[in-house]
Structure 1
Amino acid sequence: MTSLYDDVGGFDVLLALCCRWHDLCLADPVAAHPFEHPGHPQHNERLAAYLAEALGGPALFTGGYGDETYVQRLHAGNGEHVELDEACLTLFDRAVEESGIDPEAGRRLSSYFRRATEAQRAYADGPHLVPDDLPFNRA
């Protein structure tokens, strides 16, 4: 049995997906906001590493960047922004479709990404709400 990581095509496909999603978000008036500000210079690589690990691939994120608590605290404290989330999720789905990923694997990937995005709303009021030692959010 293969992992979802294998089914989507591995790290290079995920990195290309993240780069395409980033570009789509920058071009969208609603989704652009979090991507317009200077962020980490390797945001796409870090997101691809996170997704690789979440989908059952190698432990690239926890092996080099941080853990789930780190990720949640990084994104916490921005309030609830459902309209922004929905715009970004719609563009993620579009990037998945454009990436050439098998449609069933793409549906599973998009479903995971939606759940992960919606779960971040639990910490909308601040990083102090994020517990220590959160388990990694796997698909």
Structure 2
Amino acid sequence: MSIMVITETAGSDADALALVTRARAAGQTLVWRVCDSVRAVTECVRSSRGEGAELVLLDMDVPEDGDAAGASLTDALGELPVPFIEIHDRDGEGSHPAMVTVVVPGDREAGVDMALSIALRYLAGHERMAA
């Protein structure tokens, strides 16, 4: 079972280790993908199911749908067979049909931490319902 984290920056090793440790304790694996463009994010979103992701954390500010690359990403997110959570460090950024949008002004790391908490809780509840 895994959660794919798609982000535009790698972040600090200490923050990543803390998140990986929390996920592991909950029986989940974090799969990190650092993407430097909307096209790369779109490819990661499309590959997430093939890589076994049960949920996607999208930590990237993406363009509005009017942009061709943004429209392609919107299509990929719409076709995503698993839920995703968007993470932003300022208000007014969410533009896609996410399960949850997390906004922590000025603190992207806190947003990722909060999104991971939501993801782990969701997946734990989902496993109980499936059993």
So what's the TM-score if we normalise by structure 1? 0.31
**Greater fraction of residues in strand:** 2
Richer in helix (by share): 1
The alignment's TM-score, normalised by the length of structure 2, stands at: 0.33
